[in-house]
Amino acid sequence: MNEPQNVNNYDGPVFNAEVSGAQFAWNNDTVSQNQQNNSAVAPGFEALATLVTTLLRELPQAGLADPDREDAESAAREVLATIARPDAAEDGRLRRALAMLRGALAPVATGVVAGTAAGAQQWAQKAIEGLTGIL
């Protein structure tokens, strides 16, 4: 004899593991979300934190395709997470995270990415210049 299966119908997202630091919008026509990372920054990295935070805020208006924007956001968050560590200057992670961020912005700065917003190329060039020579 077959036993009946349990069927669960959920009207929303279901998480089967810990979810930390994530933001979700469900069944919205439009949504605007903001998240602040108020962790301390290692001494000497305050200007970099300001630059990367500004860059994160401006990324959605740059007109990047979703995968390119997501890569840049991920790299920027990695920079912020790394400079929150007290050993940020000695750790190669910061150098790699900065290289990833510059690499994510390079197609915009060189004009390779089609469909970017007006002024995005100059914006990306300025951002890369700001990220160069940090270490």
**Digit-coded pLDDT (tens) for 34-56:** 665 555 888 888 899 999 999 99
User: What are the percentages of helix, strand and coil residues in the chain, rounded to 5?
Assistant: 50, 0, 50
Residue type, 44: G
Query: Could you identify the residue written with the tokens 């920054």?
Result: 41
Burial of 129 (0-12, 13-18, 19+ CB in 10 A): exposed
Confidence of residue 21 (pLDDT cuts 50, 70, 90): low
Question: Could you tell me what percent of the chain has a pLDDT over 70?
Answer: 78
Q: What percent of the chain has a predicted confidence (pLDDT) above 90?
A: 18
Answer yes or no: is pLDDT of 115 > 60. no
Distance spanning both ends of the chain, measured CA to CA:
69
If one compares 76 and 20, the residue with the highest pLDDT of the two is 76
pLDDT in the model for residue 73: 92
Which tokens go with 59? 């990324």
